[in-house]
Chain A
């Protein structure tokens, strides 16, 4: 690991001033950043440790009925906040399906949004990677890519964004609150992460020095509480990134879908809001045929970027299941295996 300066600013403006210098990186929980530094994938010259900035650590209910989650709230603390889990159950479920208990205790809201891809070539500094070195090429093309993107990828990069948390958030119209040299601004999460295009090294809307201070959920987000699920397909029962995942939320009235939200994870360089599918759902009868139609719409533009065609079919199926589960109703209690297909019946014992 390269030597670096370590700064622990006392205030947000100090943090932003320090981080605006080239070669700086914010340190939150460090669960991603430190791995990247140890592997030589990033070598910041200055670490700006924001982990003890007090004002970023709060969950606040806003006057308009919305919610503001400080950027440093730990993933575990947010998921276990009873009021939060009740209002936004699929977000809590997504959080608890990610990583391990130890990692969730350390990982923060801001860090989760900004975690880098798990593309193995990105981590393998001997491989060409346009994300690491712009213009170097993409070793994942033609390589070991069965878990890579099927939506929104380009020939410059086929990586996925690995976050679970972001998937229900983007479905619920979350907004990222950013503070930078020019003051505060709000960017919707849907617009926050960027697709690779020709510039996969640009992953999000942040400018140098920009600090995520909070994530906001609009008032409407809580209206889905009764019919919302997050589902995640994994290669082991726990402690694995999603092969594909889906967040589905519905408002159903008299058998008709009055409002619908759908997003997919593990399929693209960003959490993938499936608006075309939502359009299919809106006003339609809540039944399997509708859900299958929505799934087709969600994956209409999908194409394999390598040995991963199966992910398209898998995504279609998970959309149907997530919508079916959402329609069946949010479980009373969070399942013991959050977001796992092996927890379809809340409270059921899966070891029996």
Chain B
């Protein structure tokens, strides 16, 4: 694809040596701050109509009647799509060919299985007409009682949790470990349902041309989206072109194509014109995934030295009534703390909600706040400083599997963050610190860990006769800076200055870059780019070293280095030749190379691969009112090679602020009778504002990891949220002496 405007509108980057490691600003930043970056909903192909969803206000039952006539009679309304006239699909949206094919609500029948489920789509000449048309449908329902809370339905043990982990896992004998313990704790923590609120709601502009389909929509996984749509519509994937150059945030909600996005495609099919469909903010509370509520019980035993003898982490969670996704909260206890006995177990209920799905650090975030709170309670029970307790139980090998870590600079994270924070002067007992204004002050710590995951990706590199390069991969930039970080890797891979590389991404007609999720995108697509660069340089080196006319003649492939658009003999820097010279001599206009990124199965067997971090939080609490403010956050993270420290820091900041949100703000308030979410808007679904986080610091800890991949990249997208929420909760305890057991922490919990 080509962007309407070049990404290189800022002054040339001044730098020395490689692009990797440089704190470049976002190359797409200029387009974004000037409004020139074209997001999905900014596209208006000629003849485009507007589609608006009519959504269910009941949680369970069926639609008995819709006043389609009234909607159609409204001026400007072109068509109303209902189960009766919805174009046929090649596959049943309720079919599940594999565990990661999630069921979609595509008007397959009149059944309602959650509030905000689409029950019709109104298509009109204007957004206003479509909106009013949707209101005029005045649905009548046959409603059944809604199942809303974790106690409202029968509990069962799911077949798998998260991405297919066993629901129950054991190592050692937890009961024996608890029995032998000198000190024991047991505590239950509750986390609420949280919903996706990316700035950009899901949007799609779809246009059909015969059986060719052109789509503008935000996607964290272009090839997966293409595959899903191909299956649903029975058209070849290559007939589907999806453009997704910019996403206004994804956080997992745009990982898989959602029902409403497919409905936009169906609407365009029905009317035979391009259609735009944008979710209203409140319509995001249902069909695009969410973080399920949990109730977690932790039991821990400690010996006389404060060493863990057993951890039992049990989590109850919920999925929808019609599909399976189970927040793997208890699995957070697999990797962090050494214990001879660990059991993690899950149970679940089915509620009348949309299917919960991936939301930034699924399982890790929910599990971490409970685990880190419990670890804090355990430290206190042993009379130990919480940091000292964590170090006492430091895992030298992965606790659940016994595998060595590919790298683990967590000790360094603890020590550097603790130093920057000033942890050493912390009193052991709670409610002892007051600031000059009389506010209760508390300090807390939390540990972060997130697996270094890789998927599969491909990239294509081209060197041109003018010496410039091209790198293509269908990567996705959710705002995290992929346009920049990948271009940096591409520049180094091609041995070119970054401004000489035309980097292309964000389009499904480029090589499959896998999914931007699981904190694995930079590692996966980055490795594909790196390898594509290496492949094309290898071809170039062959051309040079095999040609007598070249000053590089005779040096084998290992003997040349690519830098600044030239190949140099490794053993003699004076002998070099520019890319252009090599290609021109060979009579070639360009040469091409391909690369793949994938996890290394062998090292996967041998090593446990994780990023780590430590977060320290300071909170102030008004002693009379229980109002809380996080005044300081200091985190240190070790996540392998840092491609761009500026972008990495911004991921940590964002994650840490989300951790504050988890501890203090975010919650979907659901009416206990109707199952409708009562605060589905940005005024009442609270996330932190600037005043809630006056000071955030993220320290990057150097870490070389030869095993994760050749570039040494682990991934930074999710780890910031983990540990932070627990650190805040623990700081609240330290400030007040009240142990938070449900989140978000509320004023009434602290009133005393």
> Are A and B physically bound partners?
yes
Q: Is the CB of A337 within 8 A of B691?
A: yes
Instruction: Given A350-B631, A350-B694, verify A236-B665 contact (CB < 8 Å).
Output: yes
The answer, yes or no, to whether A120 is at the interface (CB within 8 Å) is yes
Checking B75, B627, B632 against A233 with a beta-carbon cut-off of 8 angstroms, the contacting residue is B627
Checking B626, B672, B678 against A121 with a beta-carbon cut-off of 8 angstroms, the contacting residue is B678
Q: Is the CB of B128 within 8 A of A1?
A: yes
Instruction: Given A1-B132, A243-B747, A348-B437, verify A317-B625 contact (CB < 8 Å).
Output: yes
Docked pose: A2 CA to B70 CA in angstroms: 13
Residue of B nearest to A240 (CB): B686
Name the interface residues of B580-633: CB closer than 8 Å to any CB of A: 620, 622, 624-627, 629, 631-632
Interface footprint category on A: 35 or more
Q: Is the CB of B438 within 8 A of A344?
A: yes
> How would you classify the secondary structure of chain B's contact residues: helix, strand, loop or mixed?
loop
Name the interface residues of B617-672: CB closer than 8 Å to any CB of A: 620, 622, 624-627, 629, 631-632, 664-665, 669-672
Q: Is the CB of B624 within 8 A of A317?
A: yes
Docked pose: A340 CA to B694 CA in angstroms: 15
Interface readout for A236-271 with B: 1 if CB under 8 Å, 0 if not? Answer: 111110010000000000000000000000000000
Least Cβ distance of A14 to chain B in Å?
Answer: 27
The answer, yes or no, to whether A118 is at the interface (CB within 8 Å) is yes
The answer, yes or no, to whether A60 is at the interface (CB within 8 Å) is no
Instruction: Given A3-B132, A236-B689, verify A144-B694 contact (CB < 8 Å).
Output: no
Q: Is the CB of A310 within 8 A of B747?
A: yes
Interface readout for A1-35 with B: 1 if CB under 8 Å, 0 if not? Answer: 11100000000000000000000000000000000
Tell me which residues across on chain A come within 8 A of B125, comparing CB atoms: none
Interface readout for A121-149 with B: 1 if CB under 8 Å, 0 if not? Answer: 10011110000000000010011101000
The answer, yes or no, to whether A332 is at the interface (CB within 8 Å) is no
Least Cβ distance of B443 to chain A in Å?
Answer: 15
Docked pose: A115 CA to B688 CA in angstroms: 24
Q: Is the CB of B694 within 8 A of A143?
A: no
The answer, yes or no, to whether A63 is at the interface (CB within 8 Å) is no
Q: Is the CB of A127 within 8 A of B674?
A: yes
Please count how many residues in chain B sit with their CB below 8 Å of the partner chain's CB atoms: 45
Q: Is the CB of B688 within 8 A of A236?
A: yes
Tell me which residues across on chain B come within 8 A of A340, comparing CB atoms: 627
The answer, yes or no, to whether A40 is at the interface (CB within 8 Å) is yes
The answer, yes or no, to whether A64 is at the interface (CB within 8 Å) is no
The answer, yes or no, to whether A229 is at the interface (CB within 8 Å) is no
Name the interface residues of A319-349: CB closer than 8 Å to any CB of B: 320-321, 337, 340-342, 344-345, 348
The answer, yes or no, to whether B439 is at the interface (CB within 8 Å) is yes
The answer, yes or no, to whether A234 is at the interface (CB within 8 Å) is yes
Tell me which residues across on chain B come within 8 A of A301, comparing CB atoms: none
Q: Is the CB of B695 within 8 A of A124?
A: no
Docked pose: A340 CA to B679 CA in angstroms: 23
Tell me which residues across on chain A come within 8 A of B676, comparing CB atoms: 124, 126-127
> How would you classify the secondary structure of chain A's contact residues: helix, strand, loop or mixed?
loop
The answer, yes or no, to whether A314 is at the interface (CB within 8 Å) is yes
Least Cβ distance of A328 to chain B in Å?
Answer: 12
Docked pose: A88 CA to B622 CA in angstroms: 26
Q: Is the CB of B747 within 8 A of A235?
A: yes
Tell me which residues across on chain B come within 8 A of A234, comparing CB atoms: 627
Least Cβ distance of A237 to chain B in Å?
Answer: 4
Instruction: Given A3-B132, A121-B678, A126-B676, verify A342-B669 contact (CB < 8 Å).
Output: no
User: Which one of B58, B665, B748 has the greatest number of beta carbons of chain A within 10 Å?
Assistant: B748
Least Cβ distance of B626 to chain A in Å?
Answer: 8
Name the interface residues of B421-439: CB closer than 8 Å to any CB of A: 436-439
Q: Is the CB of B664 within 8 A of A236?
A: yes
The answer, yes or no, to whether B692 is at the interface (CB within 8 Å) is yes
Checking A40, A143, A318, A351 against B671 with a beta-carbon cut-off of 8 angstroms, the contacting residue is A143
Residue of B nearest to A243 (CB): B747
Least Cβ distance of A123 to chain B in Å?
Answer: 8
Tell me which residues across on chain A come within 8 A of B132, comparing CB atoms: 1-3
The answer, yes or no, to whether B219 is at the interface (CB within 8 Å) is no
Name the interface residues of B124-148: CB closer than 8 Å to any CB of A: 128, 131-132, 135
Least Cβ distance of A246 to chain B in Å?
Answer: 11
Tell me which residues across on chain B come within 8 A of A55, comparing CB atoms: none
Name the interface residues of B661-707: CB closer than 8 Å to any CB of A: 664-665, 669-674, 676, 678-679, 683-684, 686, 688-692, 694-695
Tell me which residues across on chain A come within 8 A of B629, comparing CB atoms: 237, 342, 350
The answer, yes or no, to whether A198 is at the interface (CB within 8 Å) is no
Docked pose: A314 CA to B690 CA in angstroms: 25
Checking B437, B670, B686, B695 against A235 with a beta-carbon cut-off of 8 angstroms, the contacting residue is B686
Docked pose: A5 CA to B132 CA in angstroms: 15
Least Cβ distance of B670 to chain A in Å?
Answer: 8
Tell me which residues across on chain B come within 8 A of A320, comparing CB atoms: 624
Least Cβ distance of B749 to chain A in Å?
Answer: 9
Least Cβ distance of B578 to chain A in Å?
Answer: 53
Q: Is the CB of B674 within 8 A of A351?
A: no
The answer, yes or no, to whether B1 is at the interface (CB within 8 Å) is no
The answer, yes or no, to whether A155 is at the interface (CB within 8 Å) is no
Docked pose: A345 CA to B436 CA in angstroms: 10
A residues within 8 Å of B by Cβ? Answer: 1-3, 40, 118, 120-121, 124-127, 139, 142-144, 146, 233-240, 243, 310, 313-314, 317-318, 320-321, 337, 340-342, 344-345, 348, 350-352
- Leading 8 A-B pairs by shortest Cβ distance: A351-B694, A126-B57, A310-B748, A120-B678, A237-B691, A238-B691, A341-B622, A317-B624
Sample of 20 more A-B contacts, CB < 8 Å, known A121-B671, A233-B627, A313-B751: A3-B75, A120-B684, A127-B671, A143-B678, A144-B670, A144-B671, A144-B678, A235-B686, A235-B747, A236-B664, A237-B689, A238-B692, A310-B748, A342-B439, A342-B627, A342-B629, A345-B436, A348-B436, A350-B694, A351-B695
A-B contact pairs, 23 of them (CB 8 A): A1-B128, A1-B132, A2-B132, A120-B679, A121-B678, A126-B676, A127-B671, A144-B670, A144-B672, A233-B625, A235-B686, A236-B689, A236-B691, A238-B689, A238-B690, A240-B686, A313-B751, A317-B624, A321-B625, A342-B627, A348-B436, A348-B437, A351-B695
